[in-house]
Amino acid sequence: MHNLPTFCLFLFFLFSLFHNLSCASSENELGWCQAKFQCGNITAGFPFSGGIRPKVCGHPLLKLQCLNNITSLFLSNQEYSVLHIDQTSNTLRLYRSEFLGSFCNTTFAATTLPPEIFELSPNYKNLNVFYLCDPKLSYRSSNPCPGSGIVSVTQNLDYQNSCQGSFTINVPKSFVPEEKKLNLTHLESALREGFEVKVKIGEEACQECLSSHGICAFENTTQVCCKEDSSPRCNKLHLPDANELHKLYSQPFSCGDQEELLYPFWIPSREGCGHPNFQARLYRRIRRA
């Protein structure tokens, strides 16, 4: 057998060394995926990362940050404060951090929540904010803002040709813009309440991974299930397609003495087939003597 040149042996040694270090690092990171992100009154696990949860533990767009017990999330280069996370229903309540102050002092930047990750709760709606509007025209629900000219908030797109800029905001469905002058205090109050979104990354595939003693993780945006042994092995998770989801969610289920339950009700493992506010729960009846 011919001996490999010394230089080739050296390269092989370096490759082996870095490969082993990478595996060891991955194994250490995966071990932390069982820990929870904690900040103030916010606790979160899969599909989030942040805090002591390494980035492999969550989707790249769901990295939480904690500062002074306040949780935040950066989306489309915009900071959102996280008011609440309900992992049972996979919902978050968010608000744009800059809306904490005066509405007129915000950047008026157009941001869009990634539609592949988030779905706006049916209890909320989008409104259009138009600014730098032609002062010679009249607008519904309008008010001047220093540096931004005439600002109008409306549910339609009537003013897109007479205003230079626009962006959308999310407000409760109960919020209705005033017909005449825009009440900025009313608007600021609605924005500070935040809005609710559903995270569309379901836990069904992750639960299957956990049941096989695996660890749910991400390789970029791909969900994987990793097994801890001498070296971590990660396999792409099987995500149900539309036909499988329809078959699962169209089947009735039982909860306690209630049978044949369907949409909008749901139970854990069927989060995607119900309304967030209609989880079916089992309650024990207390017998009185």
Alpha-carbon separation of residue 224 from 14, 213, 238, 239, 270 (angstroms):
28, 13, 9, 10, 21
At 32-81, the pLDDT tens digits run 788 899 999 999 998 999 999 988 889 999 999 999 999 999 988 899 99
**Whole-prediction pTM:** 0.68
pLDDT band at 213 (very low <50, low <70, confident <90, very high): confident
For the record, the structure tokens of 281 come out as: 């729960």
CA angle, 76 as apex, 147 and 182 as ends, to 5°?
A: 40
At 157-199, the pLDDT tens digits run 889 899 999 999 999 999 999 888 999 999 999 999 999 999 9
Residue 23 has pLDDT above 60, yes or no: no
Residue 129: closest CA among 105, 162, 155: 155
Residue 1 has pLDDT above 70, yes or no: no
Task: Give me the mean pLDDT over the 244-253 stretch.
Answer: 60
Residue 22 has pLDDT above 60, yes or no: no
Alpha-carbon separation of residue 256 from 20, 31, 279, 287 (angstroms):
51, 37, 13, 17
Assign 3-class secondary structure to the chain. CCCCCHHHHHHHHHHHHHHHHHHHHHHHHHHHHHCCEEECCEEECCCCEECCECHHHCCCCCEEEEECCEEEEEECCEEEEEEEEECCCCEEEEEEHHHHCCHHHCCCCCCCCCCCCEEECCCEEEEEEEEEECCCCCCCCEEEECCCEEEEEECCCCCCCCEEEEEEEEEECCCCCCCCECCHHHHHHHHHCCEEEEECCCCHHHHHHHHCCCEEEEECCEEEEEECCCCCEEEECCCCCHHHHHHHHCCCEEECCEEEECCCCECCCCHHHCCCCCECCCCCCCCCC
> In this predicted model, which residue has the larger pLDDT, 251 or 74?
74
Q: Please give the mean pLDDT across all residues of the chain.
A: 79
> In this predicted model, which residue has the larger pLDDT, 230 or 101?
101
Contacts of 239 (CB under 8 A, 6+ apart): 202, 205, 223
Instruction: Give the residue carrying structure tokens 């057998």.
Output: 1
- d(Cα 78, Cα 286) in Å, to the nearest integer? 50
Task: Give me the mean pLDDT over the 268-278 stretch.
Answer: 59
Task: Give me the mean pLDDT over the 205-212 stretch.
Answer: 79
Task: Give me the mean pLDDT over the 261-288 stretch.
Answer: 59
* pLDDT value of position 72: 96
At 109-129, the pLDDT tens digits run 888 888 989 999 999 999 999
* pLDDT value of position 173: 93
* pLDDT value of position 261: 75
Indicate left, alpha or beta for 228 from its phi (over 0: left) and psi (-120 to 50: alpha).
beta
- d(Cα 141, Cα 31) in Å, to the nearest integer? 54
* pLDDT value of position 18: 36
